[in-house]
Structure 1
Amino acid sequence: MIQVFCNKRGSGKTKELINLANRNVLTEKGNSVFIDDDSRCMLQVDKKIRFISTSDLGLMSYEGMYGFLCGIISEDYDIENIYIDGLCNIVDCEIENAAHLFYKLDELANRFGINVYISINHEKEAPEFIQKYTNYQLVAN
């Protein structure tokens, strides 16, 4: 399952994602991974959750991000939840070009029974391919 939190910068997506991860770790049977572009929120994430800062990893494309996630999953078959905070901060690309990544992530999540939670900073309405995964989205006026 994929769930996307898509809204403008400063709307509370990171806080909501951290709270979700910390709540889920209390009841889940598998392992969790929290991925962020820096380590600012590392101390807010429960210590049972593996925290990964991508600041030194040089992920530049959606293909690189997909390969990175495949590596994490292949290293630990007990992963139940993956939290990705600020996808567009981690990968230096426009969200409108991420349709192929979401298609591949959907397949990966279903094949391995993993929940993937992604926050995205986006000022406009989410692209159509993301809307089916979104429950928290900027409302157009």
Structure 2
Amino acid sequence: MIKLIVGKKGTGKTKILINMVEEAVKASNGNVVCVEKVPKLTYDIPSSARLMETSKDNIEGYDEFYGYITGILSGNFDITDLFIDSTLRIGGRDYDKLGKFLEKLNTAVADREVNIVFTISADKEELPASVQAFIG
């Protein structure tokens, strides 16, 4: 299942994400992973959650981002929750490409029991229907 946390910069999306990571760590019987562009959540999320940075692997654009995420999930079948902060900083601000990325990823994980949460720094009204479909 894919869910989006949407709002302009400074509206508390990352704080919501951190709270969700904390709850997932408490409830999960598997692994919880948090992905960010650059290291800023190191001291905010529980140490039992894995923290990964896309900047270390030079991930840019939605095609590379898709490969990165599916690679993480393919190599680790015990991941129950995957949280991604700063999605637009990683993939780009092209909302149509974001929608295609989300639809493709949703298809790829449809048969897996994994919760995926992205933060999106944009107003809901700015986003196309393909992206709004994932706002939960």
Q: Which runs of 5+ in 1 are unaligned?
A: 136-141
Moved more, 31-40 or 98-107: 98-107
Find the aligned partners of 2:123 and 2:133 in 1 and give their Cα distance: 18
Q: Report the equivalent of 2:131.
A: 130
Q: Corresponding residue for 1:138?
A: none
Shift of 1:57: 1.6
Deviation at 1:48, TM superposition (A): 0.9
Aligned residues: 135
Deviation at 1:54, TM superposition (A): 1.3
Determine the structure 2 residue equivalent to 1:34: 34
Which deviates further from its counterpart, 51-60 or 1-10?
51-60
1:106 equivalent in structure 2 = 106
Question: Secondary structure of 2:118's match?
Answer: strand
Greater alpha carbon shift after TM alignment, 90-99 vs 101-110: 90-99
**What SS does structure 2 have at the residue aligned with 1:35?**
strand
State the Cα deviation string for residues 36-71 of structure 1 (Å, max 9, x = none).
011111111111110001122211221111100111
Identity rate, percent? 27
Give yes or no for contact 1:109–1:116 (8 Å, CA) kept in 2: no
**Per the alignment, do residues 92 and 131 of structure 1 end up closer, same or farther by CA in structure 2, a change over 3 Å counting?**
closer
Instruction: Give ranges in structure 2 of 5+ residues lacking alignment.
Output: none
Segments ≥4 residues shifted beyond 6 Å: none
Which string of whole-angstrom CA distances, capped at 9 and with x for unpartnered residues, describes residues 87-140 of structure 1?
1111234223222211111112222221100001114612211212113xxxxx
Q: Is the 2:91–2:98 Cα contact (8 Å) retained in structure 1?
A: no
Stretch moving more, 105-114 or 82-91: 105-114
